[in-house]
Amino acid sequence: MAEVLLHHHAQGLTDGVHALADALRGGGHRVHVPDLYDGRTFADLDAGVAHAREVGFGTVVERGRAAAEGLPDGLVHAGISLGVLPAQALAQTRPGARGALLLCGCVPPEELGAPWPAGVPVQVHGKEADPLFADEGDLDAARALAAGAGAELFLYPGDEHLFLDSSLPGYDAAATSLLVERVLRFLAAVG
């Protein structure tokens, strides 16, 4: 069994994020889903990103770090889009990380102030034509992480950004099913 800390995307802690966490729990894993927005959710991505900007991306990362306090070492740090920021920061800097799951986003490790730690496996998942993933540097960062740290990079056909959130219009059930299968295999290997 793996213990996962899953950080939500810019639209907040939606029913779809809870559903993804439940799918991972169904594989026998313990999953924590902190609310980085104090109960707020947003109907569209632009409003959620505007809120994150208003709060400050650094504050979002610090809220993610605070969510890890009191949890054991040996976590798998996971994040969806905006949630990749705290997840990746924790995977790179908190001792004892078992792995990282970067969903719909990836940041160059040097932007978070530390190299990717040796021995910490990582998977990156995104849509190959998602403009927020493929055209804004995330895909390039994921490819560099795959080349340098051996990350597994999984690309899915289509252009939906938050395709794994069943509560949003861009949900892709087939791609999400495959993503969950791959993530469960990863968690079984690191757990």
Q: What is the pLDDT along the chain (191 residues), one digit of tens a residue?
A: 999 999 999 999 999 999 999 999 999 999 999 999 999 999 999 999 999 999 999 999 999 999 999 999 999 999 999 999 999 999 999 999 999 999 999 999 999 988 999 999 999 999 999 999 999 999 999 999 999 999 999 999 999 999 999 999 999 999 999 999 999 999 999 98
Supply the pLDDT for residue 9.
Answer: 98
What is the predicted pLDDT for the residue at 173?
98
Question: Would you say 96 and 73 are in contact if contact means Cβ atoms under 8 Å apart?
Answer: yes
Element (H, E) at 148: helix 138-149
pTM, two decimals, is 0.97
| Whole-number pLDDT of residue 113 | 85
Distance CA 78, CA 32 (A): 10
Q: What is the reported pLDDT for 176?
A: 98
DSSP track, 108-163: -GGGGTSPPPTT--EEEEEETT-HHHHSSSHHHHHHHHHHHH--EEEEESS--SST
CATH architecture of 3-190: 3-Layer(aba) Sandwich (3.40)
Q: Which residue has the tokens 């849509």?
A: 127
